[in-house]
Structure 1
Amino acid sequence: MQRTYFTRALVAGLCGLGLAQAAGAGTVTVLTSFPKELTTAYQKAFEAQNPGIKIEILNKNTTASVAYVRELPEGQRPDVMWASAPDAFEVLARNKLLAPAPETVNKSAPPKIGNYPLNDPQGLYYGQALAGYGIMWNTRYLQAHKLPAPKEWSDLTRPEYFGHVAISSPSRSGTTQLTVETILQGEGWDKGWSQLLAMMGNAAAVTDRSFAVPDGVNNGQYGIGIVIDFFGLAGKYSGFPVDFAYPRMTAVVPANIALIAGAKNAEEARKFMAFTMSVPGQQLLFDPKISRLPILPYSMLKAPAGYPVPQEVASRAKVQFDANVGEARYQVVISLFDQMVTFRLKELQAATRAIHEAAKALQAKPNAKGSELLAQARSLAYTPLVGEANVKNEEFLELFRKNRRDVAVSKQLTGLEQMWADKARANYERAQQLAGEARSLAK
């Protein structure tokens, strides 16, 4: 009797193990930075069509996702990477962490958006949606503060927008990193950084997550947000008092999906990838809470009236985005932004306030010496600490690609970043002082 009991228990245990393995084999782990509104919609729709497969969402920001995949051994990695930043996928591809899945591609999608390839030419990641970068604003907030709606990045450097702008940190948000890189590519490294730093001097906040910016604009906490288009469009089409504009200096690039090398459930993962690029999967992008631009022609879909047409936005965009350039300096850009902006925002704000006040005083009462001091203050506050020559130096770039877990590498990078932080603080404090002197000369 006891033997029969143990035999039954053993059989039950083996059956349970088999079921667990079967359940594991039918589960696709999707690593993504996308919001719950989007991932839940795709999860429910796909599982309804494929009752034997479960979708597990692992939500991390893009930078953390790249690090996560790099650190895990083959066989323990998630199955699918799904995010907006093409240069993040280039980083994964460079490290041989992506696997080809050409059978998932929808052949009805165009090969290019503007001049930008929809899919990776090497066939390792694929455009699943399209995105541009721009400015959203709360219409009631701007009306209450008597502010005009900004349309270009340069507008956000103007003194009337001081304290009204929000952005997320590119080290915590792949979409912000893309926005920053788009401006740098469009304006050029040095001019781009000068514009960015002047814009950031007007910032009310640099948030930890990209979602915090549109949420803050939707509820009126911030007047203006620097965002990827779907944040602005989702707020607008969901009924919030917000609007959105694409500056001329923007780019339209794919949000991508890819099979991770060493995926546990590659077959099921390919099915999920194919679904996201199918007509039903693309139609989901028009959900007001999602509001993304599809890769398929609108003739195959039912688009809301007045919805932006990707090819039209791309034709107006002035930036021909180069993912290889973005990938090469990816770590440098996010690190430099943190040391000059994220961790030094108060000092940058103080310098910018003083510069605005001095400029106003000198406009009312011109003074040659004051104008000279003001020019020096602007140069100190809005000049990047890393010049264009450095980001063309392969040895310099390679340092930032190395593994920070290496003690020697970590020590070298930490020392360099601390030097940037100290220099930024000193420059901002000196800029504030010079602007104050300039203002006093106009009295």
Structure 2
Amino acid sequence: MLPTLRHAALAAARRHTVLAAALASLCAPAFAGTVTVITSFPKELTQAYKTAFEKKHPDIKLEILNKNTVAGIAYVRETAIGQRPEVFWASAPDAFEVLGRDKLLAAAPEVDNPAIPAKIGNYPINDPKGFYKGQALAGYGIMYNTRYLKANKLTAPKEWKDLLGHEWFGHIGTTSPSRSGTMHLTVETILQGEGWDAGWNTLLRMSANAASVTERSFGVPDGVNNGQFGAGPVIDFFGLAGRYSGFPVDFVYPTVTSIVPANIAVIDGSKNPSEGKKFVAFTLSDEGQQLLLDPKISRLPVLPYAKLAGKVPQGYPDPEAIAKRSKVQFDPNLSEARYYVVQSMFDQTITFRLKELQGAARAIFEAEKKLAGKASPQAAELLKEARGLAFTPLVGSDLAKDPRFLELFAKSKKDAAVNKEITGLEGSWNTKAKANYERAVTLAQQAAALAR
């Protein structure tokens, strides 16, 4: 082919390519950017927001990255600046305090909805420093299956103490605060409402009655819905969603509960921060708040009910009323300070030693039954010691307040010296818990042998 003809052919090919690209760009949607949302929330909620937001903003694609809250924090920490996801969305305010402490959140005052009040009870709905926003309200309590309770002759619980008796042995489902931000809030609510030592006594006794520690927070409500468990500690929207979706379940707020915001925030160093802000603003808008009332979602809006006139289902919980009667004024700073200590203690003494803890509880319950109505000071003393070994936290309240101890667990485990020290402590707790539970079994059996 002659040079001039070859050049003409190449030029024509280039014109065809440019024209094809132009036509393709006209026919295809032009995305301004993708908003990646890191969240622990269930698909029923995230899909509803994805559909509504993309309809309102067809030029923006919403990508949901589902991780439990603890894993989500780690993901944000480990992702390079400029490559991070845009939005963090979860129930636990202490998790946002951790992110804020590590300078991983960006202030976004322009997304605020002025109709949202400043507080729920005495608790600020938005972060006073402006780094995260309250997007919904959440309370913590007990979900139970009404058919299961009737079949097993169990009384519907109203307070945490109602789940501690021998009749509940093997009937409870629970999860770990290291696996679930909402469980972490439940644990902290109990610790703050009852005090450190008494709160751990409640947590250990309730966990001793558990059939299992589920892998994710969803495992508890799913198990209660399908009758695998009789009851379990959950965040309110799991219980309410189950009830409004027709499962034979109910939910109760104990007096030791808290109403705190479930939060949303723009992550600092994200790829598309302006698009991320649009999504956060949407979730706080009147339209975004109304989505929370969908029966499959069943969350409490931060927008006052007066602003949602005609949309709130009859008999829907009133967060203001619950907050007024609650015995807990939740302190997110306290929770943030001991965040990893609480998770580690729960796992080393409960999650990883559930079998031994169950064995201790079973032996204590059997001894109590044999000794019922029988006076034996020696047996009573043995049982008291057994309960102390099984249900007393390995870290006392004084050490739990020690700033140096708390600071250790707040440090990065990537530091070899820090990792060695923390791992050593965790190993000693695990070993001590096993020994305590086994000793409790021995003492309970000795007490039972004294029954005449």
TM-score bracket for the superposition, by shorter chain length: over 0.9
Q: Specify the SS of the correspondent of 2:223.
A: helix
CA distance in 1, matches of 2:180, 2:140: 13
Give, as a single letter, the amino acid of the residue that structure 2 aligns with 1:31.
Answer: I
Task: Indicate yes or no: 2:396 matched with 1:416.
Answer: no
Task: Indicate yes or no: 2:371 matched with 1:359.
Answer: no
Q: Which region of structure 1 is more displaced relative to structure 2, 392-401 or 219-228?
A: 392-401
Task: Indicate yes or no: 2:99 matched with 1:92.
Answer: yes
Give the equivalent residue in structure 2 for 1:310.
319
Task: Indicate yes or no: 2:189 matched with 1:182.
Answer: yes
Give the equivalent residue in structure 1 for 2:349.
340
CA distance in 2, matches of 1:422, 1:383: 15
Give the equivalent residue in structure 1 for 2:247.
240
1:433 to 419, 426, 442: 442
Give the equivalent residue in structure 2 for 1:130.
137
The 5 Å alignment of 1:72-111 reads 72-111=79-118
Q: Specify the SS of the correspondent of 2:372.
A: helix
Give, as a single letter, the amino acid of the residue that structure 2 aligns with 1:80.
Answer: V
Fraction of identical pairs, as percent:
65
Stretches of structure 1 lacking an aligned partner (at least 5 in a row): none
Give, as a single letter, the amino acid of the residue that structure 2 aligns with 1:412.
Answer: E
C-alpha deviation, 1:407, in angstroms: 2.0
CA distance in 2, matches of 1:344, 1:337: 10
Residues 77 and 17 of structure 1, relative CA distance in 2, 3 Å threshold: farther
Q: Are the aligned partners of 2:32 and 2:59 in contact in 1 as well (CA < 8 Å)?
A: no
The 5 Å alignment of 1:376-387 reads 376-387=385-396
Give, as a single letter, the amino acid of the residue that structure 1 aligns with 2:383.
Answer: L
C-alpha deviation, 1:303, in angstroms: 0.3
2:399 to 390, 398, 404: 390
CA distance in 2, matches of 1:27, 1:14: 21
* TM-score, L = length of structure 1: 0.96
* TM-score, L = length of structure 2: 0.94
Residues 16 and 186 of structure 1, relative CA distance in 2, 3 Å threshold: farther
C-alpha deviation, 1:114, in angstroms: 0.8
Give, as a single letter, the amino acid of the residue that structure 2 aligns with 1:197.
Answer: L
C-alpha deviation, 1:50, in angstroms: 1.1
Residues 390 and 10 of structure 1, relative CA distance in 2, 3 Å threshold: farther
Q: Are the aligned partners of 1:31 and 1:80 in contact in 2 as well (CA < 8 Å)?
A: yes
Cα deviation, 1:234-269, whole Å, max 9, x if unaligned, reads: 000000000000000000000000000012111111
Cα deviation, 1:87-137, whole Å, max 9, x if unaligned, reads: 000000000000001111111111111111000010000100000000010
Give the equivalent residue in structure 1 for 2:3.
none
Task: Indicate yes or no: 2:287 matched with 1:280.
Answer: yes
Give, as a single letter, the amino acid of the residue that structure 2 aligns with 1:227.
Answer: V
Give, as a single letter, the amino acid of the residue that structure 2 aligns with 1:391.
Answer: A
Q: Specify the SS of the correspondent of 1:389.
A: helix
Q: Specify the SS of the correspondent of 1:304.
A: coil
- Alignment RMSD (CA, Å): 1.8
C-alpha deviation, 1:16, in angstroms: 11
Task: Indicate yes or no: 2:53 matched with 1:63.
Answer: no
Give, as a single letter, the amino acid of the residue that structure 1 aligns with 2:107.
Answer: P
Give the equivalent residue in structure 2 for 1:330.
339
Give the equivalent residue in structure 2 for 1:49.
56
Cα deviation, 1:348-407, whole Å, max 9, x if unaligned, reads: 000001111111222232211000000000000011111111121111111111111222
Structure possessing the higher radius of gyration over alpha carbons: 2
CA distance in 1, matches of 2:321, 2:306: 15
Q: Are the aligned partners of 2:164 and 2:209 in contact in 1 as well (CA < 8 Å)?
A: yes
1:254 to 244, 252, 261: 261
Give the equivalent residue in structure 2 for 1:374.
383
Query: How many residues of Structure 1 are paired with residues of Structure 2 in the alignment?
Result: 441
Task: Indicate yes or no: 2:358 matched with 1:349.
Answer: yes
Give the equivalent residue in structure 2 for 1:155.
162
C-alpha deviation, 1:4, in angstroms: 3.0
C-alpha deviation, 1:185, in angstroms: 0.4
Stretches of structure 2 lacking an aligned partner (at least 5 in a row): 1-5
Q: Are the aligned partners of 2:70 and 2:181 in contact in 1 as well (CA < 8 Å)?
A: yes
Q: Which region of structure 1 is more displaced relative to structure 2, 390-399 or 114-123?
A: 390-399
Task: Indicate yes or no: 2:215 matched with 1:208.
Answer: yes
Give the equivalent residue in structure 2 for 1:228.
235
Q: Specify the SS of the correspondent of 1:132.
A: strand
C-alpha deviation, 1:169, in angstroms: 1.0
Residues 72 and 147 of structure 1, relative CA distance in 2, 3 Å threshold: same
Q: Are the aligned partners of 2:31 and 2:59 in contact in 1 as well (CA < 8 Å)?
A: no
Cα deviation, 1:306-332, whole Å, max 9, x if unaligned, reads: 000110111111100000000000000
Q: Are the aligned partners of 1:25 and 1:264 in contact in 2 as well (CA < 8 Å)?
A: no
1:296 to 273, 283, 303: 303
